[in-house]
Amino acid sequence: MDIALRSFFLGISREVTVGYQTRNMGDKFACEVTGLNLWEKLSSETAKSLRALLREHGVLIFRRQALSEDEFADFSALFGQLELTVRRDWASNHRPEVGLISNLKDGTGKSIGGLGDGEVLWHADQSYILNPATGSGLYAVEIAHTGGATRWANLECAYDALPERLKKAVDGKSAVFSYPKRLAGFKGADRMVPTDMKERIADVIHPIVHADPTTGKKSLYLDPTTTIGIVGMDDVAGNALLDELTEFVTQPEFVYQHEWQVGDVLIWDNGFLLHQREPFPETERRMMKRTTMFLPKEEHRVPLGKLASAIAA
């Protein structure tokens, strides 16, 4: 009998330790995990091993899940402290740590959530924040019949493969990250900045290269939708270098593409990954639920930024 069903019939709530299986996605870095029901309370040993898998692979995939918002949030919290949704206008009314990525509308015609349709270009979540929550989770509730795939680019693998010329060019360099640039790529109401967010979106500076605190392995930290230049370089040269880096790291050998199925849950680490969403028809329904987590800086690459205004002064 299924463990969840047995627990239901016994009328008990207990911690479940489950032996799960993993499968690499071909020759890509992402890892699919099978044999877990994420609505169950997982043991501390299972949670610890999943955190180790995330550090190793960067993207974890769990299919065939059926979760309430509380269950999704509680599972996400196994990887790090949950954050309230930064865009409060995209937050769930039930659980403020859950954001809605959707093109659906309510009975009055108001959008439910944000980033409804169209393409979302290569980016790293929260790169415009001084101390970003680098963990992200996405749960597929409704998906379009065509399009809408998401790609992740591994910036650790890409750094290892960089020509020495580019490694020397970025050594010791920092980039300027600006939320207004990202907003310019949004559509409609998504471009409107909520009042409670304005104080958090001053331009910030992050190093372009940072190292894993446990292994010492280096990776790039980039965000083409948000970076506006490199400290100490003129605009033309700085942006040319950023463009060259982006073109290099998004080559197919560094990219995993995920074709969504209803019930998919993905957890990933923005500290060394970029991601991008393909467009899909605006006439198709899509509803994803999203979480962000503060991954422990002792175990993950977590950029600690500086205000650009302070550097300029």
Amino acid at 237: A
pLDDT of residue 87: 77
Q: Domain residues of the chain, as ranges?
A: 13-312
User: pLDDT tens for residues 132-153?
Assistant: 999 999 999 999 998 999 999 9
Q: End-to-end CA distance of the chain: give it in Å, rounded.
A: 66
CA distances in angstroms from 35 to 3, 17, 19, 55, 106, listed in the order given: 11, 11, 7, 20, 36
> What is the helix (H) or strand (E) element at residue 8, kind and residue range?
helix 3-10
DSSP state of 299: T
In whole angstroms, how large is the CA radius of gyration of the chain?
20
pLDDT of residue 18: 60
pLDDT of residue 209: 97
pLDDT of residue 159: 98
User: What number does CATH give the domain 13-312?
Assistant: 3.60.130.10
User: pLDDT tens for residues 55-85?
Assistant: 999 999 999 999 999 999 999 999 999 999 8
pTM attached to this predicted model: 0.88
pLDDT of residue 168: 97
Which residues in the chain show pLDDT less than 70?
1-18, 113-119, 184-201, 310-313
Render 102-126 in DSSP notation, one character per residue.
E--B-TTS-BSSB--SS-EEEE-TT
pLDDT of residue 281: 87
Amino acid at 135: G
pLDDT of residue 283: 87
